[in-house]
């Protein structure tokens, strides 16, 4: 087994103060590995970075069509949103259309990350609901699938028809059975995978021609929905949304907890998966920005890209006291891949 690679450093003065290690794999839809740093066989939990895979059964089953879902609903099904009005309003509308409500969700309440929404709730002395949970779109998708399948209320149970369908899609797209499963932050099961298999799954989403008619259509629909509605996938100030907007329709990207990040490049038929070993977001965002620059879908000079690629660490007086830097073994000054 290959050790994790040194990917990102925090530099203070002339000294490296901290180092983030991890794994990165870039693949094409034929299964070819185009680049690797670290161990392509490292087993990870993909966490929320795999929501587009978890949403495949929603479309393949016919549930999305039966419920009249539009691309905005499908983007929210793939989202880790910040509980802004555009997110909670759509989730509430979607649930109401199913004849369901907040109590039918099983993701748990969460204080929204969106500052405006949070301030409004404080002003009105309102507690957070489950629709504010960053995964409420995914869970509303699960409820839509569950209504179509006629399953019981506890759709997050590992042996529930919804999760059986999700596990089957995960396994087929990864090309391997998960070695482990665990409970995610939103209470749904999350299935492990090799990081190289995850990159190949993202490449299949990018170029689904070999997946069969039904799955290919589902994959293309979900990727298109994410690209069409980047702010629904995360929100203002968030890396997923900002970098998708900066790429002008060339990528669908999705972050996950504990330093996971995935990218889908439809024009090139390429998938990217990465995991930072210590789970750090600043490192995962920096590495993803660096890889996307090297793949030619982001401009390194774009201020939005710079904010993720090499953000300064500001002290209490707003002085740039240190800087984040992707190691040159990975970034190579932006040289094309």
* Residue 330: its H or E element: helix 328-331
pLDDT digits (tens, 9 = 90+) for 36-81: 999 999 999 999 999 999 999 999 999 999 999 999 999 999 999 9
Rounded to whole angstroms, the Cα distance separating 22 from 45 reads 14
**pLDDT of residue 259 exceeding 70:** yes
Distances (CA, A) of 249 to 76, 164, 235, 335: 17, 33, 16, 22
Q: CB 179: neighbour CB atoms within 10 A?
A: 10
- Contact assessment for residue 132 and residue 110, using Cβ atoms and an 8 Å cutoff: yes
Indicate the pLDDT class of residue 141, thresholds 50, 70 and 90. very high
Q: Residue 2: its pLDDT value, please?
A: 73
Rounded to whole angstroms, the Cα distance separating 316 from 71 reads 43
Indicate the pLDDT class of residue 90, thresholds 50, 70 and 90. very high
Average of per-residue pLDDT across 173-181: 97
pTM: 0.96
For residue 200, the enclosing domain spans 5-334
* Average pLDDT of the chain, as a whole number: 97
pLDDT digits (tens, 9 = 90+) for 218-257: 999 999 999 999 999 999 999 999 999 999 999 999 999 9
| Strand pairing report for 260-265 and 270-276 | antiparallel
134: three-class secondary structure by DSSP: coil
Q: Residue 70: its pLDDT value, please?
A: 98
| Sequence-ordered strand ranges (E) for 56-212 | 181-183, 189-191, 193-194
CB contact set of 30 (below 8 Å; sequence gap of 6+) = none
pLDDT digits (tens, 9 = 90+) for 290-334: 999 999 999 999 999 999 999 999 999 999 999 999 999 999 999
The CATH number assigned to the domain holding 84 equals 3.40.710
**pLDDT of residue 1 exceeding 70:** no
**How many domains, in total, are found in the chain?**
1
């Amino acid at each position: 087994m290959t050790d994790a690679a040194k990917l990102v450093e925090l530099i203070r003065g002339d000294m490296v103060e901290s180092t983030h290690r991890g794994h990165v794999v870039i693949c094409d839809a034929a299964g070819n590995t185009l680049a690797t740093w670290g161990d392509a066989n490292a087993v990870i939990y993909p966490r929320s970075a795999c929501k587009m895979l978890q949403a495949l059964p929603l479309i393949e089953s016919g549930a999305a069509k039966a419920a009249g879902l539009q691309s905005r609903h499908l983007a929210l099904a793939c989202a880790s949103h910040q509980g802004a009005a555009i997110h909670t309003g759509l989730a509430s509308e979607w649930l109401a259309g199913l004849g369901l409500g907040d109590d039918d969700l099983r993701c748990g309440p969460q204080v929204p990350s969106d500052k405006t929404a949070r301030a409004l709730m404080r002003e009105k002395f309102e507690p957070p609901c489950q629709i504010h949970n960053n995964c409420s779109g995914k869970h509303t998708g699960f409820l839509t699938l569950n209504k179509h399948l006629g399953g019981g209320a506890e759709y997050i149970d590992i042996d529930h028809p919804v999760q059986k369908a999700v596990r089957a899609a995960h396994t087929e797209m990864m090309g391997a059975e998960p070695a482990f499963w665990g409970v995610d932050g939103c209470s749904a099961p999350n299935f492990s995978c090799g990081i190289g298999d995850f990159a190949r799954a993202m490449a299949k989403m990018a170029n689904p021609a070999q997946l069969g008619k039904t799955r290919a259509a589902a994959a293309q629909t979900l990727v298109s929905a994410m690209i069409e509605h980047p702010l629904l996938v995360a929100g203002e100030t968030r890396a997923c949304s900002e970098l998708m907007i900066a790429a002008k329709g060339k990528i669908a990207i999705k972050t996950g907890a504990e330093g996971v990040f995935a990218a889908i490049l439809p024009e090139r038929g390429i998938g990217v998966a990465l995991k930072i070993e210590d789970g750090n977001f600043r490192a995962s965002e920096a590495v993803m920005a660096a890889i996307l620059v090297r793949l030619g879908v982001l401009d390194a000079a774009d201020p939005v890209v710079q904010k993720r690629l090499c953000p300064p660490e500001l002290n209490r007086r707003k002085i740039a006291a240190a800087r984040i830097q992707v190691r040159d073994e990975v970034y190579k000054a932006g040289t094309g891949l």
